[in-house]
């Protein structure tokens, strides 16, 4: 990549030499990658490769070594709850729905850092249009939703913070094929309306198909990168992740 001013302007997320340890055990080492504005970047890798740890580090949920920069600013000393305000929204692995809060409250909670009341109300209505199932369930506790509905709620909730970069951790996990199709369609829609996406998936096939670029992660380090199309055609990827 050339270091032209144009390129720097387009750089949204830059992860450099990222290392994460859990109780002294190394989970990530020397991970570097970039996400440009408007892209869908996919991280694929087997279970335990370190995908979730990367997203947790970006969101400030865990300590790390190395550098993470967002829109030109270092995130190292920014508290997790402030990172949301900087413009990063995160749909965590397992969805992280608050089962005791209603659907509406789950969505409201994500606007904690916002003060634009009218805009919040408009965004809320927009979510109910985007996810009609949530509209019917507005006043139900999040815990009563089905897995697919919870995933939609988790995505809607992340959008309520109006992040410019959306981190998605295995959004297709545990969903029926039909729902997987739907969630990927939603992801593409969100991207088309201007939100950059960093997508973590084990479902490599679908993820690579919608990706602008992708990185393959193995035991805590990046072993391969390229455009989504390139990796779909790569024999190593096909053998290890696509089962062909």
Ligand X SMILES: Nc1ncnc2c1ncn2[C@@H]1O[C@H](COP(=O)(O)OP(=O)(O)O)[C@@H](O)[C@H]1O
Interface with another protein, residue 101, by CB under 8 A? yes
Interface with Mg ion, residue 42, by CB under 5 A? no
Interface with ligand X, residue 207, by CB under 6 A? no
Strand-pairing partners, residue 168, are 91, 199
DSSP string, 76-116: TTS-HHHHHHHTEEEE-TT----TTSBHHHHHHHTTTT---
Least distance between Mg ion and beta carbon 51 (Å): 5
98 and 109 Cβ atoms separated by less than 8 Å: yes
| Cα of 28 vs its chain's centroid, Å | 18
Interface with ligand X, residue 193, by CB under 6 A? no
Residue 113 site contact among another protein, Mg ion, ligand X, none (CB < 5 to 8 Å, cut-off depends on kind): another protein
Rounded CA gap, 35 and 55, in Å?
13
Interface with another protein, residue 81, by CB under 8 A? yes
Interface with ligand X, residue 30, by CB under 6 A? no
Site for another protein in 109-168 (CB under 8 A): 109-113, 141, 143, 157-158, 161
Tokens of 112: 């904690």
Rounded CA gap, 95 and 93, in Å?
5
Q: Which of 53, 150, 151, 172 binds ligand X (CB under 6 A)?
A: 53
Rounded CA gap, 220 and 154, in Å?
26
Residue 161 site contact among Mg ion, ligand X, another protein, none (CB < 5 to 8 Å, cut-off depends on kind): another protein
Tokens of 71: 């829109």
Interface with another protein, residue 84, by CB under 8 A? yes
Interface with another protein, residue 174, by CB under 8 A? no
Tokens of 221: 């380090």
Q: What residue ranges bind Mg ion (CB under 5 A)?
A: 51-52, 93
Q: What residue ranges bind another protein (CB under 8 A)?
A: 59-61, 79-82, 84-85, 89-90, 92, 96, 98-101, 105, 108-113, 141, 143, 157-158, 161
């Amino acid at each position: 990549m050339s270091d032209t001013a144009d390129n720097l302007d387009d750089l949204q997320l830059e992860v450099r030499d990222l290392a994460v340890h859990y109780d002294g055990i190394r989970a990530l080492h020397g991970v570097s990658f970039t996400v440009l504005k408007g892209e869908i970047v996919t991280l694929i890798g087997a279970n335990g490769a370190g995908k979730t740890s990367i997203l947790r580090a970006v969101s400030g949920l865990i300590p790390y070594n190395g550098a993470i920069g967002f829109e030109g600013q270092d995130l190292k000393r920014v508290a997790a709850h402030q990172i949301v305000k900087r413009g990063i929204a995160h749909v965590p692995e397992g969805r992280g729905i608050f089962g005791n809060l209603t659907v509406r409250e789950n969505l409201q909670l994500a606007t904690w850092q916002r003060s634009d009341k009218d805009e919040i109300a408009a965004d809320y209505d927009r979510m109910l249009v985007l996810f009609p199932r949530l509209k019917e369930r507005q006043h139900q506790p999040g815990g009563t939703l089905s897995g697919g509905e919870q995933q939609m709620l988790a995505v809607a909730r992340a959008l309520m913070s109006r992040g410019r970069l959306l981190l998605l951790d295995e959004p297709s996990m545990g969903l029926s094929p039909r729902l997987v199709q739907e969630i990927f369609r939603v992801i593409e829609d969100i991207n088309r309306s201007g939100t950059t996406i960093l997508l973590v998936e084990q479902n490599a096939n679908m993820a690579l198909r919608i990706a602008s670029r992708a990185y393959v992660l193995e035991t805590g380090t990046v072993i391969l990168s390229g455009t989504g199309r390139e990796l779909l055609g790569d024999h190593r990827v096909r053998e290890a992740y696509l089962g062909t």
